[in-house]
Amino acid sequence: MIPALVLMVLAAPAAPAPVTKLAAVPFVAVDLPAGKAEVYVEQLSVSLRTHGFSVTTPKDIGTALGLERQRQLLGCAEASCLVELAGALGVEGVVNGQVVRTAEAFRVALKVVSPKDGSVLFSFADSAPTEDGLYAALERGAQEAAVALLGLRLVKSTVPVVVTIVGGVAVVVGLVFAGRAGATYELLERRGAAALEFQSLAPIVAQGKLEQGLALGFLGAGGLGVLGGLLWYALAPLYPVKVALGAVPGRWTAGLEVMW
Segment 128-172, tens digit of pLDDT:
999 999 999 999 999 889 888 886 544 445 677 788 888 889 899
Cβ count near 69 (within 10 Å): 15
Mean pLDDT, the chain, integer: 75
pLDDT in tens, 16-44: 567 889 988 888 889 998 788 889 999 99
Please state the domain extents for the chain. 17-152, 158-235
H or E element: which one contains 153? strand 153-156
Q: Do the beta carbons of residue 143 and residue 181 sit within 8 Å?
A: no
User: DSSP letter string over 198-237?
Assistant: HHHHHHHHHHHHHHHHHHHHHHHHHHHHHHHHHHHHHHTT
User: DSSP letter string over 116-144?
Assistant: TT--EEEEEEEEESSHHHHHHHHHHHHHH
Give CA angle at 247 (51, 136), nearest 5°: 20
Q: Is the pTM of this model over 0.75?
A: no
Rounded Cα gap, residues 143 and 242, in angstroms: 11
Nearest Cα to Cα of residue 19 among 138, 110, 126, 122: 122
- Residue 129: the pLDDT is 93
Rounded Cα gap, residues 86 and 115, in angstroms: 6
What 8-state DSSP symbol labels residue 150? S
- Band of the pLDDT at 256, cuts 50, 70, 90? very low
Counting residues of the chain whose pLDDT is more than 70, the rounded percentage is: 65
Classified as helix, coil or strand, 1 is coil
Is residue 201 scored above 80 in pLDDT?
no
Alpha-carbon dihedral 197, 198, 203, 204, rounded to 10 degrees: 60
- Tallying the residues shown for the chain, one arrives at 260
What fold, for 17-152? Rossmann fold (3.40.50)
Instruction: Output 239-243 pairs: Cβ under 8 A, ≥24 positions apart.
Output: 240/156, 240/157, 241/156, 241/157, 241/158, 241/159, 241/160, 242/154, 242/155, 242/156, 243/154, 243/155, 243/156, 243/158, 243/159
- Band of the pLDDT at 260, cuts 50, 70, 90? very low
- Residue 149: the pLDDT is 87
Cβ count near 134 (within 10 Å): 22
Among 54-63, 103-112, 181-190, whose mean pLDDT is lowest? Answer: 181-190
